[in-house]
Chains A and B, each alone.
Chain A
Amino acid sequence: MHLTSETFDQNARDALRDPVLHGALRNLADNFVERRRAAIASVDDWEGLREKARVIKEQTLCHLDRYLLQFVENAEKAGVKFHWARDGKEACGIVLNLLKKRGAKHVVKSKSMATEEIHLNAALEAEGIEPVETDLGEWIIQLAGETPSHIVVPAIHKTKAQIADLFVDKVGIEKTDDVDVLTRTARNILRQRFAEAEVGISGVNFGVAETGTIVILENEGNIRLTTGLPKTHIAVMGIEKIIPKFADLDVFLKLLPRSGTGQRLTAYQSIITGVKRNVTDEGPDEIHIVLMDNGRSRMLAHPVTRQSLACIRCGACLNACPVYQQVGGHAYGSVYPGPIGAVITPQLIGISKAKQLPYASSLCGACREVCPVKIDIPELLLHLRAEITDGTAGGAESNPQRKRKFTESLAFRMYGFAWSGPVSYGLGIKAARLMQKLVVRDGRIGKVSGFVAKLLPPLGAWTAWRDAPAVAERSFREQWRDGLGNNSQWSVVSGQ
């Protein structure tokens, strides 16, 4: 069963109780965070490079229409056919049509978040075509009938033992804990699939406007085969993947692998400019690019949400996020989990279906700190939160009617009143001091339950895990009046 964003809180609670997942996430955090740190140390001016990338992305997005046309024009000159898709359904339809027209029975696919986003596999399977995922992690997920839990390492939630069991079950090998045997098994099976495939489907990391080139990065060599071996190559790309110049790759190829996997460079970079020039050359006869909007032009419209489109899907913000490290990817109920997922998902599927996600962050800013293109994710989360409370959230719906959560908005109005001046503030504090007599023991508030927890749900939630401090007998302002304010010689000496 696939989880949805609507039940994030429950998904998260379940994930927190899963010790296997916890172990996997701990490894991820330790390894990737460390590897990234080491890798960025090998760049002289990392911060300067990030700033360059941010500026390139921002300028491109501000003139996206122009760059897109330039990209299309140049790629068409090199023999690429283009298809425009307004949304995921259209994109899936286009791919399906291309496959049907070619009578394709065997289709291989390389890892691509754009195709995950539009659930392309499900759409094709419904029409009797089962594309084979050729990235090892994606293939494992496909065998298990699951969704990726990380945008770079899709099977990060699975242990070696679970994968071995899966192989025994699905491809009928003897049980083994030898990783080499497992990868060799996968490779042998996948080679077979490559050999028989009529069409290869891929995503795109960068589309270079100046040359009409598409660039795809990877480590396993399967993308090279997916895009090079079958007669037809179909690439699905979001309209935001454009960069203006070939030389800009210098910036992004330094940033992406270092941020994502802590590598200086991925093992393979496929740089594809059009179809083969001579019949004797290698490569496909036809290349089709499906340019997909699917909510992106809506994000483009506002300067804050526009930042979401700068994402190069490196996964660094997931690895660095304390929330992701606790609950993993599936809890988000979206192909885009973690901080960037909490930002993109509500904008893709509609905020009413992912209302909790913008709040699923402590706003610690670790994501912003590691993001290679300097997306201010906390700012975006705050923007979405404000849209939710204002009821102006657009998302995938048109002009939705929204109500603020009644109790919360009441609480904030009360707080607005209580803190509006010293008199009401003083009254509020006096009331709190009086009420806390019920629950304070030894100067602190332990676990509250029963009617107090019902009356004050936040206090119940807080004290389920932590003691709460009592309101002080003499506040700072009272102590100031008591004499702290008068005596300029006053000083404190207190032992530790």
Chain B
Amino acid sequence: MKVSVFITCLVDQLCPNVGVSMVAVLRRVGCEVVFDERQTCCGQPAFNTGYRNEAQKFAKRFIKIFEESAAEAIVSPSGSCVAMVKHFHELFPTDEKWRERAGKIAARTHEFGSFLVNVLKVEDVGASSTGRITWHDACHGLRDLNIRDEPRRLLKNVKGVEFVEMSNADVCCGFGGTFSVKFPEISAGILDNKIESIEKADVCAVVSGDASCLMQIGGRLSRLDSKVKPMHLAEILACQNHLR
């Protein structure tokens, strides 16, 4: 299947290895991967802060660029950015044409883990690694896209790792976009509950499907000099220790 990568700003600039890993896994399971370098941001920060006009500009740009692609699927390593694409139609309340175009793009756009399991029907991508890991449900992936079992099934199929559920895996990490800097103390309070759950699970890595949560969780783990490593789903699925 031909897949067009929607990389997202955070992954592109701050953790490109997540994108590189996603490409590797997609190729491993037989996809032809393309990337349109004209893409920029989906407009989520503007949308979530109430700047609908700005968000609409981003949406139009995004739709135009990906409409030109012949790829059957648009795949992204971020649940929240995919959720934003699914929200695009709301930005055109009175414009039927754009609503329709937005709807078509949304239907082609998938979060990485859900794409593997629900579209490609692959649950074992031939990954192997070591250690004990746990999963943090990113809110938008979980509640906007309804992704709960998919990543867990993928992780349980990674050879050599022990998967454990932490308590309150489905509770927010406190990121929330601009919320994290508008109300840093509240954000950090929520985050510390998450860190407590992670530490209690006694794992070497906490895996998630959204770079933003990983930045929040990872930033605190780093500040606390924790041994736990934040990892994106794509990064662990890209691991093939048995080939080393």
Contacts and interface: CB of A to CB of B under 8 A. Distances in A.
Interface of A: 9, 12-13, 16, 322-323, 325-327, 358-366, 368-369, 382, 384-390, 408-409, 412-413, 415-416, 419-422, 425, 429, 432, 444, 446, 457-458, 461-462, 464-472, 474-481, 484-485, 488-496
B164 interface: no
A30 to B, nearest CB: 10
B94 interface: no
Contacts of A468: 215, 219
Interface string B37-51: 110110001111111
A103 B137 CA distance: 60
Contacts of A420: 40, 57, 61
Q: Give the size category of B's interface with A.
A: 35 or more
Nearest to B235: A494
A492 B187 contact: no
Nearest to A432: B13
Interface stretch (B102-110, B111-119, B178-186): B178-186
B219 A469 contact: yes
A495 B129 contact: yes
Contacts of A389: 49-52
A496 to B, nearest CB: 4
A474 B37 CA distance: 14
Contact of B219 (A388, A409, A429, A462): A462
B139 A412 contact: no
Main secondary structure on A side of the interface with B: helix
A12 B185 CA distance: 8
B175 interface: yes
B185 A477 contact: no
Contact of B16 (A362, A390, A415, A475): A475
Contacts of A327: 186
A382 B191 contact: no
B238 A492 contact: yes
25 contacts: A12-B185, A16-B185, A326-B190, A327-B186, A362-B177, A363-B139, A363-B176, A364-B143, A364-B176, A365-B140, A385-B49, A386-B52, A415-B54, A419-B40, A421-B38, A422-B38, A462-B180, A466-B191, A466-B220, A476-B13, A484-B20, A485-B35, A493-B238, A495-B129, A496-B131
A469 B218 CA distance: 9
Contacts of B38: 421-422
Contacts of A322: 171-172, 174, 190, 193
